[in-house]
């Protein structure tokens, strides 16, 4: 494939001070891709450096939170560059206006937004290195070929390494067009590839945000109002200041900070702090009342219409069989293993921020706001994240750190305790869904209505995705939405609205299958008849899972289907319920995520997403009492452990369709697959998460 | 404040610290050894696991006074070159995702291997179930632990 490149937007070449070929290229952001508009302006948001020492460094504006992006993006570049994989290095360049307005890792976008551009960059650099070699040998470029970081003269078999050509290449104009490989020629892309970031993660040497250390740095913790939206009325720091190591206690907009010469002293100081709060109006809210407000909202008929097909009311009235159900899910914390933290150094002439963040550009905006400095005086150092799951898309913790650091002339590291993290999260919203369904005389679904109440944070779309946009052909279909806001902060959580709505939709569809006397896989086959990709994934999963084959008494299989983040995922869970005890033994997952860059990464992310969704299904729940979160640490907000992890079998549907996302593909489908399996095993229908012992007894 | 003497990764170490200060924060903030991670502060997640006299211990709830005269090994001291069978197997199986919990996983796994050279799945469950991983690398941990045991039995352990 030959791709014309707009030189102004795409490639910029030049020598670097250190020597070597430095190439800038444009990676379109999400918005530009959505609009399918070409890049405009002089945005350069990633760079590749071919060093005189043969080392290829990829400076990438994405960030690594475990999803494998550093590896998969490097594979795309290395493929077209024809470089020796062992010579690849990566660095995070921080935020720079040259990279464009948006810099972040959200919505499983990294590969989707970089698949072609990174290959173009690799191909462009390869082309320039070939040209440099051709000139050196005085031959035509067509008699040169590139292989493993070397250019080979095909006539003489002479060889020149990329490192020896980098400087000459840097003086050449970048190519006006490049030829990309056909997928059949790929040597790296599509092959299971080891992660580049593993070695530093097995010897403790990888630096996460929380590991930043700077000369003269102080350590801070912040006491926030336990009630959402509350503010400091007054505080007494007399006892806090008696703690050895405590330097100062200061009030910021969001609470009272204790600053000390180590983290523990700061925490001890905070324990001895007395703060009076103006709790505000959220103090009146508790989980039972919140649930009640959701229930009442869904009983009203005037919700915001989300999607309407046919005439659901009429079809319900004439259906052969009707069923109604109410489904509920709680607020959820992200509980990243690395508690939130941020290090800031605010000087009069500029500020520096070190943060493990999913949203580098957002971090810079808030740091500028809080420091009072212009954005171009704020430098963001993007660090490895100990998990993100959406939490680090917010920048509240960056703002706090900058506000505290502003009161000091040395760097200050703010660390959140686990309790801070769990009680001041931006939660996956609680949700409530009232369904009505109808099947015809033959048992096939003819009507489906859903009324959803859920606090919005990014409009109704994220609150109803997973119910509103199911792929099933149901002739009469209607979804309404009610935005109910109890004042608990909510935001993105791995797979967003699908995390609860797929549980609702796939469980209720299962109810409809059983109401009509249909096999759950057969029913889905029929309703997906015109969706080739989902159907193929369904057949693959059913086949690999042995759907329909006998199981011991007390065992069951359940299926779920989801299309999100541009990918198609079918899961079949195998569970047993014995003496009221649930065990998830095995999950077969078929995934069609289009063209795959790193199958090993897909395998990892599918298992990871399943573990994350399973924790929510089996254990997760944040509850509110008088405006406060009742859970504080892992003994109250448990997650799946090694002995609860099912065997996950991943089957990738071969595809050269446009790549979909993968980091959030498998999280939505695990809860309904498990709950549908529980129904198959026991006849008990789970309509509320997390699953409680009494639901199984 | 009191001077506490102990052995850290084979070398003598003296620190001046409040006696109640947890080993975790001495390691991370006082000594700058950040490979040992803070996860919960309550011995609930295992991210801060180190060895004290060869036993896996949660450093977040271990006061520095309790390590006086003891031998402390952290992830930085497990091997000088990622050559411990657990590390070799972890790299081979590409276990870490975000990697934040892995220092603790590896220290717990290394302690298991030192007393059980051929752990069963049940042994692994028992030893590892208090180490939380939010990325869900559990199956890879299990696979790598079995592989490390093979390497260990083949004489690859120190």
- Nearest-neighbour CA in chain B from A633: distance (Å): 7
Topology alike, domains A209-280+340-415 and A287-330+427-696: yes
Q: Which A-chain residues 405-424 have CB contacts (< 8 A) with chain B?
A: 415, 417-418
Chain A partners of B29 at a C-beta cutoff of 8 Å? 219, 262-264
Identify the pLDDT of residue A64: 86
Please check whether residue A501 touches B, CB under 8 A. no
Identify the pLDDT of residue A13: 54
Give the residue from A254, A201, A637, A236 showing the smallest Cα distance to A414: A254
CATH architecture type of domain A2-202: 2-Layer Sandwich (3.30)
> Tokens in use for B75?
């992830």
| pLDDT tens digits along A604-628 | 999 999 999 999 999 999 999 999 9
Q: Are residues B127 and B143 in the same domain?
A: yes
CB-nearest to B40 from A67, A219, A418 is: A418
**Contacting residues for A296 by C-beta, under 8 A, at least 6 apart:** none
**B74, A418: Cβ pair inside 8 Å?**
no
pLDDT at A22 over 70: no
Single out the residue in B24, B45, B77 at which a domain terminates: B77
Identify the pLDDT of residue A563: 97
First CA to last CA distance, chain A: 60
Q: Are A309 and A474 in contact (CB under 8 A)?
A: yes
Chain B partners of A206 at a C-beta cutoff of 8 Å? 99
Total tally of structural domains belonging to chain B: 2
**B82, A199: Cβ pair inside 8 Å?**
yes
Chain A partners of B9 at a C-beta cutoff of 8 Å? none
Mean pLDDT score of chain B: 96
Please check whether residue A192 touches B, CB under 8 A. no
Identify the pLDDT of residue A570: 98
State the DSSP string of A478-502.
EEEEE----S--B---TTTTHHHHH
Identify the pLDDT of residue B68: 98
Give the residue from A537, A506, A490, A497 showing the smallest Cα distance to A660: A537
Residue A42's pLDDT band (cuts 50, 70, 90): very low
d(CA A291, CA A209): 37
Q: Are residues B100 and B146 in the same domain?
A: yes
| β partners of residue B13 | B6
**A633, B141: Cβ pair inside 8 Å?**
no
> Tokens in use for A243?
């703690």
pLDDT at A124 over 70: yes
- Nearest-neighbour CA in chain B from A420: distance (Å): 10
d(CA A378, CA A370): 11
| β partners of residue A573 | A558, A587
pLDDT at A101 over 80: no
CB-nearest to A337 from B82, B95, B100 is: B100
Residue A56's pLDDT band (cuts 50, 70, 90): confident
**A607, B139: Cβ pair inside 8 Å?**
yes
Cα-only R_g, chain A? 27
**Contacting residues for A294 by C-beta, under 8 A, at least 6 apart:** A328, A430, A431, A432, A453, A454, A482, A484
- Nearest-neighbour CA in chain B from A636: distance (Å): 10
Q: What is the domain partition of chain A in residue ranges? A: 2-202, 209-280+340-415, 287-330+427-696
B158 occurs within a structural domain = no
What's the fold here for domain A287-330+427-696?
Aldehyde Oxidoreductase; domain 4 (3.30.365)
**B76, A204: Cβ pair inside 8 Å?**
yes
Chain A partners of B109 at a C-beta cutoff of 8 Å? none
- Interface with A, mutate which of B135, B148, B151 (most A CBs under 10 A): B135
B130 occurs within a structural domain = yes
**Contacting residues for A137 by C-beta, under 8 A, at least 6 apart:** A144, A153, A156, A158
Angle, nearest 10°, between helix axes B85-92 and B102-115? Answer: 130
Chain B partners of A265 at a C-beta cutoff of 8 Å? 18, 21
pLDDT above 90: percentage of residues in chain A? 80
d(CA A63, CA A359): 9
B34 occurs within a structural domain = yes
| Backbone torsions φ then ψ of B37, nearest 5 degrees | -105, 150
B25 occurs within a structural domain = yes
Please check whether residue A194 touches B, CB under 8 A. yes
Please check whether residue A30 touches B, CB under 8 A. no
Please check whether residue A34 touches B, CB under 8 A. no
Give the residue from A409, A415, A399 showing the smallest Cα distance to A365: A399
Helices (H), A138-211: 162-170, 199-202
CB-nearest to B39 from A206, A418, A609 is: A418
**A202, B90: Cβ pair inside 8 Å?**
yes
Domain range for B129: 85-153
DSSP A148: T
pLDDT at A2 over 80: no
Single out the residue in B28, B53, B77 at which a domain terminates: B77
| pLDDT tens digits along A228-268 | 999 999 999 999 999 999 999 999 999 999 999 999 999 99
pLDDT at A545 over 70: yes
Single out the residue in B77, B106, B136 at which a domain terminates: B77
Lowest mean pLDDT among A47-51, A99-103, A322-326, A488-492: A99-103
**A339, B76: Cβ pair inside 8 Å?**
no
Which CATH number describes the domain made up of A209-280+340-415?
Answer: 3.30.365.10
The mean pLDDT of B49-58, rounded to a whole number, is: 98
Please check whether residue A201 touches B, CB under 8 A. yes
Does an H or E element contain A309, and which?
A: strand A304-309
**A639, B134: Cβ pair inside 8 Å?**
yes
Chain A partners of B141 at a C-beta cutoff of 8 Å? 642
In this structure, the number of other CB atoms found within 10 A of the CB of residue A550 comes to 6
The mean pLDDT of A541-566, rounded to a whole number, is: 97
Q: Are residues B45 and B93 in the same domain?
A: no
Q: Are A148 and A82 in contact (CB under 8 A)?
A: yes
State the DSSP string of A594-657.
SS-S-HHHHHHHHHHHHHHHHHHHHT--B-EETTEES--STTTS----GGGPPEEEEEEPP--S
**Contacting residues for B126 by C-beta, under 8 A, at least 6 apart:** none
| pLDDT tens digits along B66-102 | 999 999 999 999 999 999 999 999 999 999 999 999 9
**A386, B98: Cβ pair inside 8 Å?**
yes
CB-nearest to A202 from B29, B33, B102 is: B102
Strands A445-453, A431-439: parallel, antiparallel or unpaired by DSSP? antiparallel
CATH code of B114's domain: 1.10.150.120
> Tokens in use for A604?
């990892």
Mean pLDDT score of chain A: 91
d(CA A365, CA A234): 30
- Interface with B, mutate which of A259, A264, A421 (most B CBs under 10 A): A264
Chain B partners of A209 at a C-beta cutoff of 8 Å? none
d(CA B151, CA B84): 9
**B98, A338: Cβ pair inside 8 Å?**
yes
Lowest mean pLDDT among A110-119, A212-221, A616-625, B108-117: A110-119
Q: Are residues B11 and B68 in the same domain?
A: yes
The mean pLDDT of B48-75, rounded to a whole number, is: 98
Identify the pLDDT of residue A29: 42
Strands A341-347, A350-355: parallel, antiparallel or unpaired by DSSP? antiparallel
The mean pLDDT of A660-682, rounded to a whole number, is: 97
CB-nearest to A204 from B25, B35, B124 is: B35
Residue A288: helix, strand or coil by DSSP?
Answer: helix
CATH code of B45's domain: 3.10.20.30
Q: Are residues B140 and B94 in the same domain?
A: yes
Q: Are A437 and A290 in contact (CB under 8 A)?
A: no
Q: Are residues B90 and B121 in the same domain?
A: yes
Residue A97's pLDDT band (cuts 50, 70, 90): low
First CA to last CA distance, chain B: 36
pLDDT at A100 over 80: no
Specify the higher pLDDT residue, A200 or A111.
A200
Residue A472's pLDDT band (cuts 50, 70, 90): very high
| pLDDT tens digits along A509-535 | 999 999 999 999 999 999 999 999 999
d(CA A567, CA B13): 53
pLDDT at A7 over 80: no
- Nearest-neighbour CA in chain B from A72: distance (Å): 13
ipTM of the complex: 0.97
Strand ranges in A460-566 using DSSP code E only, listed in sequence order: 476-482, 555-564
The mean pLDDT of A158-171, rounded to a whole number, is: 91
Q: Over A355-406, what HEC string results?
A: ECCCCHHHHHHHHHHHHCCCHHHEEEEECECCCCCCHHHCCHHHHHHHHHHC
Lowest mean pLDDT among A112-121, A194-203, B134-143: A112-121
d(CA A625, CA A635): 18
Please check whether residue A207 touches B, CB under 8 A. yes
Chain B partners of A194 at a C-beta cutoff of 8 Å? 94
Please check whether residue A211 touches B, CB under 8 A. yes
Helices (H), A138-190: 162-170
- Interface with B, mutate which of A642, A647, A663 (most B CBs under 10 A): A642
CB-nearest to A634 from B44, B79, B129 is: B44
Q: pTM for this one?
A: 0.94
The mean pLDDT of A348-374, rounded to a whole number, is: 95
Identify the pLDDT of residue A109: 75
- How far are the Cα atoms of A85, A502, A534 from residue A476, in angstroms, in the given order? 53, 19, 21
> Tokens in use for A337?
């293993």
| pLDDT tens digits along A420-436 | 999 999 999 999 999 99
Chain A partners of B106 at a C-beta cutoff of 8 Å? 202
The mean pLDDT of A325-348, rounded to a whole number, is: 98
Maximum distance among all Cα pairs of chain A, rounded to whole angstroms:
83
pLDDT at A8 over 90: no
Lowest mean pLDDT among A1-5, A85-89, A474-478, A592-596: A1-5
| pLDDT tens digits along A382-419 | 999 999 999 999 999 999 999 999 999 999 999 999 99
Identify the pLDDT of residue B156: 58
Residue A21's pLDDT band (cuts 50, 70, 90): low
Residue A37's pLDDT band (cuts 50, 70, 90): very low
- Nearest-neighbour CA in chain A from B55: distance (Å): 19
Identify the pLDDT of residue A40: 30
Chain A partners of B36 at a C-beta cutoff of 8 Å? 204
- Nearest-neighbour CA in chain A from B53: distance (Å): 20
- Nearest-neighbour CA in chain A from B9: distance (Å): 13
Q: Are residues B9 and B69 in the same domain?
A: yes
**Contacting residues for A253 by C-beta, under 8 A, at least 6 apart:** A403
């Amino acid at each position: 494939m030959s791709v014309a490149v707009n030189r102004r937007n795409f490639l910029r070449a030049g020598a670097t001070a250190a020597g070597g070929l430095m190439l800038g290229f444009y990676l379109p952001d999400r918005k530009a891709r959505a609009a399918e508009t070409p890049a405009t302006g002089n945005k350069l948001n990633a760079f590749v450096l071919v060093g005189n020492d043969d080392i290829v460094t990829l400076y990438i504006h994405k960030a690594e939170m475990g999803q494998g992006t550093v590896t998969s993006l490097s594979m795309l570049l290395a493929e077209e560059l024809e470089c020796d994989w062992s010579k690849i290095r990566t660095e995070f360049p921080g935020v720079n206006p040259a990279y464009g307005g948006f810099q972040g890792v959200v919505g499983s976008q990294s590969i989707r937004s970089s698949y072609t551009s990174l290959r173009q960059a690799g191909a462009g650099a390869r082309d320039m290195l070939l040209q440099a070699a051709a000139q050196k040998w005085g031959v035509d470029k067509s008699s040169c070929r590139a292989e493993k970081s070397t250019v080979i003269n095909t006539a003489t078999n002479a060889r020149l390494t990329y490192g020896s050509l980098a400087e000459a290449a840097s003086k050449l104009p970048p190519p006006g067009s490049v030829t990309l490989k056909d997928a059949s020629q790929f040597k790296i892309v599509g092959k299971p590839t080891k992660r580049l970031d593993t070695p530093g993660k097995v010897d403790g040497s990888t630096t996460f945000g929380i590991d930043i250390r700077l000369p003269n740095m102080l350590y801070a913790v912040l006491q926030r109002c336990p009630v959402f939206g509350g503010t400091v009325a007054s505080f007494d720091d007399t006892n806090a200041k008696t703690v050895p190591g405590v330097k100062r206690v200061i009030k910021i907009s969001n609470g009272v900070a204790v600053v000390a010469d180590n983290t523990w002293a700061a925490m001890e100081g905070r324990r001895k702090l007395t703060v009076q709060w103006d709790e505000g109006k959220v103090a009146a809210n508790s989980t039972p009342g919140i649930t009640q407000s959701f229930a009442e909202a869904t009983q009203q008929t005037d919700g915001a219409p989300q999607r309407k097909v046919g005439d659901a009311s009429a079809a319900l009235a004439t259906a052969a069989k009707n069923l109604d159900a109410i489904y509920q899910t709680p607020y959820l914390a992200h509980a990243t293993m690395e508690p939130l933290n941020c290090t800031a150094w605010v000087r009069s002439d500029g500020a520096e921020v070190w943060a493990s963040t999913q949203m580098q550009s957002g971090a810079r905006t808030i740091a500028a706001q809080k420091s009072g400095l212009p954005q171009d005086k704020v430098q963001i150092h993007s660090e490895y994240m100990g998990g993100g799951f959406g939490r680090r898309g917010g920048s509240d913790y960056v703002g706090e750190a900058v506000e505290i650091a502003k009161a000091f002339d040395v760097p200050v590291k703010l660390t959140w305790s686990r309790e801070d993290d769990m009680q001041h999260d931006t939660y996956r919203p609680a949700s409530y869904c009232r369904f009505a369904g109808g099947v015809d005389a033959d048992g096939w679904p003819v009507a489906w209505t859903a009324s959803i109440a859920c606090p919005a944070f990014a409009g109704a779309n994220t609150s109803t995705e997973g119910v509103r946009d199911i792929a099933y052909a149901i002739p009469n279909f209607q979804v309404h939405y009610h935005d109910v806001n109890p004042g608990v902060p909510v935001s993105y959580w791995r797979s967003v609205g699908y995390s609860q709505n797929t549980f609702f939709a796939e469980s209720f569809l299962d109810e409809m299958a059983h109401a009509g006397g249909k096999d759950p896989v057969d029913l889905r086959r029929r309703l997906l008849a015109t969706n080739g990709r989902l159907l193929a994934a369904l057949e693959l999963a059913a086949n690999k899972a042995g759907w329909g084959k006998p199981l011991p008494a007390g065992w069951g299989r359940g299926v779920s289907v989801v299309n999100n983040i541009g990918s198609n995922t079918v899961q079949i869970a195998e569970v047993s319920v014995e003496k009221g005890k649930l065990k998830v033994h095995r999950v077969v997952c078929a995934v069609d995520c289009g063209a795959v860059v790193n199958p090993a990464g897909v395998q990892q992310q599918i298992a990871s997403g399943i573990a994350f969704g399973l924790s929510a299904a089996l254990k997760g729940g944040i509850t509110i009492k008088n405006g406060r979160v009742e859970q504080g640490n892992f003994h109250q907000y448990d997650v799946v452990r090694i002995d609860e992890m099912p065997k996950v079998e991943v089957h990738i549907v071969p595809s050269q369709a446009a790549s979909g996302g993968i980091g959030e593909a498998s999280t939505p489908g695990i809860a309904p697959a498990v709950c549908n399996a529980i129904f198959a095993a026991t006849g008990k229908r789970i309509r509320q998460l997390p699953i409680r012992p009494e639901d199984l007894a | 404040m009191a001077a506490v003497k102990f052995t850290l990764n084979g070398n003598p170490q003296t620190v001046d610290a409040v006696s109640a200060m947890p080993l975790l924060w001495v390691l991370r903030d006082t000594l700058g050894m950040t490979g040992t991670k803070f996860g919960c502060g309550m011995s609930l997640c295992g991210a801060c696991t180190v060895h004290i006299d060869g036993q896996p211990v949660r450093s977040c709830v271990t006061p520095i006074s309790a390590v006086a005269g003891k031998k402390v090994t952290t992830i930085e001291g497990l091997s000088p070159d990622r050559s411990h069978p657990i590390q070799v197997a972890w790299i081979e199986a590409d276990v870490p995702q975000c990697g934040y919990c892995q220092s603790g996983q590896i220290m717990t796994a290394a302690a298991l291997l030192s007393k059980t050279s051929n752990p069963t799945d049940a042994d692994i469950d028992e030893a590892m179930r208090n180490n939380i991983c939010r990325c869900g690398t559990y199956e890879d941990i299990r696979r790598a632990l079995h592989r490390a045991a093979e390497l260990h039995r083949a004489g690859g352990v120190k």
